């Protein structure tokens, strides 16, 4: 799956992007501390669908993000704003993840529905393989702590 662009509003440390971030086949994120690099990676980690279980932790991607920040879903929102909006350009389509304290909603080309289902269809990938598409290794510390490798 190739994400061509990402526009962020009210997510983690990012209030809003001035314009959508554009990605190429090889993209490097460079910036000062607290510039939003990790927030961008965390937004990408929610693909292909925030509700599917992660391949490594077997917990939903949105729950892993909540655990990473050791709080409720409002802790992934910018300054505890009411909602967050992540807009992804995937192929010639638009995938949107809206996050509130109640949980995420997903949209594909402005219609509410499963992003994962559409990605599965586009890339002719079985839905049970979706959790393997994107891995966010920032979550590895959570996984290792839960398996009691660390105290």
Which residues have a Cβ under 8 Å from the Cβ of 61 and sit 6 or more positions away? 45, 46, 49, 50, 51, 52, 53, 54, 136
For residue 110, how many other CB atoms are within 10 A of its CB? 7
pLDDT at 136 over 80: no
Q: Higher-confidence residue: 118 or 133?
A: 118
Task: Give the pLDDT band of residue 150 (cuts 50, 70, 90).
Answer: very low
H, E, C per residue of 68-115: HCCCCHHHHEHHHCCCEEEEEEECCEEEEEEEECCEEEEEECCEECCH
The pLDDT assigned to 84 comes to: 95
Q: Higher-confidence residue: 6 or 74?
A: 6
Contact call for residues 54 and 118 (beta carbons, < 8 A): no
The pLDDT assigned to 141 comes to: 57
Q: Which two tokens stand for residue 21?
A: 């971030």
pLDDT at 1 over 80: no
The pLDDT assigned to 54 comes to: 87
Task: Give the pLDDT band of residue 143 (cuts 50, 70, 90).
Answer: low
- Residues 109-131 have a mean pLDDT of 91
- Residues 47-72 have a mean pLDDT of 88
Average pLDDT, rounded, for the chain: 87
Locate the domains of the chain by residue range.
Answer: 3-146
Ranking 39-43, 78-82, 109-113 by mean pLDDT, the lowest is 78-82
Q: How far apart are CA 59 and CA 53, in angstroms?
A: 5
Task: Give the pLDDT band of residue 95 (cuts 50, 70, 90).
Answer: very high
Q: 3-146, what's its fold? A: Rossmann fold (3.40.50)
């Amino acid at each position: 799956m190739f994400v061509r662009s990402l526009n962020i509003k009210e997510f983690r440390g990012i209030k809003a992007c001035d314009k959508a971030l554009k990605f190429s086949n090889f993209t490097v994120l460079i910036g000062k501390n607290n510039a939003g690099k990790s927030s961008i990676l965390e937004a990408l980690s929610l693909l292909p669908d925030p509700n599917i279980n992660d391949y490594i932790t077997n917990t939903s991607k949105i729950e892993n993000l909540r655990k990473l920040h050791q709080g409720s879903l409002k802790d992934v929102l910018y300054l505890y704003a009411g909602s967050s909006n992540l807009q992804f350009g995937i192929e010639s389509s638009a995938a949107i993840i809206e996050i509130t304290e109640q949980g995420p909603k997903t949209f594909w080309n402005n219609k509410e529905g499963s992003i994962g289902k559409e990605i599965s269809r586009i890339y002719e990938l079985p839905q049970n393989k979706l959790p393997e598409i994107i891995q966010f290794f920032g979550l590895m510390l959570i996984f290792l702590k839960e398996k009691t490798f660390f105290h």
